[in-house]
Amino acid sequence: MARIMNCDGSWVEVDLGRLRGNVEAIRSSLGGAELITVIKSDAYGHGLESVAAALGRFGVARFAVAYVAEASAVRAAAPQAALILVLGAACPREVPRMLRDRITPVVVSAEHGRALSDAAVAAGGRLGVHVKLDTGMGRLGFVCPVETEQAAGIARLPGLEVQGVCTHFAMVEPEKKPTAARGQAEKFRQALPALEAAAGKRLFRHMSSSRAALLLPECDQDAVRIGISLYGYGAAEKDKRFATVPVLQWKSRVIQVKKVPAGFAVGYYSSYKTAAPTDLATISCGYTDGYQRHLGNKGQVLVGGKRRPVVRRVSM
């Protein structure tokens, strides 16, 4: 169990045993594809350093984050990692750090590639990179097919070694737009010959994130990037390829319990009134801790393993 936050009245616990179980469930479903664990944004709020270290102990060798600083933290926590991929547009001034910590950025444009290459040459090194293709997300990457040749040109830059190629799906639910993801996958496949010819080798390929891994196993490629499902969330309600369970619990303390009569007004603006004699518990947690105000008279908590309603407006 990893305790990663203490706000006096409330704290978060991450069950590393459950995390291990999720990793094993995902791995066993992937066949020959490798697992890239996405631990950006403080491992989705679960604690980057402790999660990275635990995943390293579980034998995970490939990680993805959003920023170079996160990648360096992963390298410190999991020094044996074979791949630490920066999914955002890494700044060229961070190249010395990436060379030192064996961090692999994605290249998202010709200009970005040239800047990274120039910085690597100036630092006396050659930086391993993955080329990011925009096959329909409209976010980072070379637009396919119109910029495929520019993407291939990254392999000719002296300071870079192209090791992989990736893309990201905008939508994978077949019932919503059945051809969207497959159209993106086809653009990705059509771009591969030019990129691999320029690189002079077969590149490490990945395009599926959690939803695609669940719903489109035919798009696995060499690896899949699993983020939200690693922590037990975002899985489809049906047709699951793998099942994961939540690993995080947010806990607090009951600091007072009192008996109140029927018709008793509770909270600011008397936002709740008891319909019968009631045991009323006050919990040491509010919106200052991040418990959202709109959950007043809507939310639920577990007290002694039993669901109890949140009544009145949520206080600070």
Q: Which two tokens stand for residue 126?
A: 């050659």
pLDDT tens sequence across 279-297: 999 999 999 999 999 999 9
| 163 within some domain | yes
CA 169 – CA 265 distance, rounded (Å):
50
Considering the domain architecture, whether residues 25 and 58 belong to the same structural domain is answered as yes
245-255: pLDDT as tens digits: 999 999 999 99
304 and 158 within one domain = no
| Same domain flag for 170 and 274 | no
Structure tokens of 173?
Answer: 């639910």
Q: Return phi, psi of residue 124, to 5°.
A: 80, 25
Do residues 218 and 260 both lie within one domain?
A: no
Which of 40, 41, 44, 83 shows the shortest CA–CA distance to 60? 83
CATH code: domain of residue 113: 3.20.20.10
**Do 166 and 279 fall within a single domain?**
no
| pLDDT score recorded for residue 4 | 47
* 164 within some domain: yes
What average pLDDT does the structure give for the chain? 94
Same domain, 202 and 295: no
Structure tokens at 80: 């044996």
Q: What is the CATH number of the domain that holds 260?
A: 2.40.37.10
The predicted pLDDT at position 238 comes to 58
Q: Is residue 6 part of a domain?
A: no
Report yes or no on 38 lying in a domain.
yes
Residues 71 and 113 placed together within one structural domain of the fold: yes
* Inside any domain, residue 246: no
Residue 47: domain span: 14-231
40 in active site: yes
Same domain, 47 and 151: yes
In a domain, residue 171? The reply is: yes
197, 231, 265 — which closes off a domain?
A: 231
Residue 61: phi and psi, rounded to 5, are -115, -10
User: Nearest Cα to 248, choosing from 11, 77, 56?
Assistant: 11
Considering the domain architecture, whether residues 94 and 147 belong to the same structural domain is answered as yes
Neighbours of 300 (CB within 10 A): 11
User: Is 3 inside a domain boundary?
Assistant: no
Residuewise pLDDT in 10s, the chain (316 residues):
554 444 578 999 999 999 999 999 999 999 899 999 999 999 999 999 999 999 999 999 999 999 999 999 999 999 999 999 999 999 999 999 999 999 999 999 999 999 999 999 999 999 999 999 999 999 999 999 999 999 999 999 999 999 999 999 999 876 666 678 999 999 999 999 999 999 999 999 999 999 999 988 999 999 999 999 999 997 655 557 898 999 999 999 999 999 999 999 999 999 999 999 999 999 999 999 999 999 999 999 999 999 999 999 999 9
The CA distances from residue 207 to 45, 167, 210, in Å, are: 24, 5, 10
Q: Is 187 a catalytic residue?
A: no
CA atoms within 13 A of residue 150's CA, in its CB half-sphere: 18
From 40, 44, 132, 272, the catalytic residue? 40
Residue in the block written with tokens 């600083």:
69
Regarding whether 294 and 153 lie in a shared domain, the answer is no
Predicted local distance difference test score (pLDDT) of residue 89: 98
Q: φ and ψ at 169, to 5 degrees? A: -80, 140
Are 41 and 167 in a shared domain? Answer: yes
Indicate which residue of 177, 201, 268, 298 is catalytic.
268
Is the domain of 193 the same as that of 72?
A: yes
Under DSSP, is residue 159 helix (H, G, I), strand (E, B) or coil?
Answer: coil
Nearest to 71 by CA among 106, 107, 101: 101
At 179 the pLDDT is 76
Asked if residue 193 has a cis previous peptide bond (ω within 30° of 0), the answer is no
How many Cβ atoms sit within 10 Å of the Cβ of residue 118? Answer: 15
Tally of domains within the chain: 2
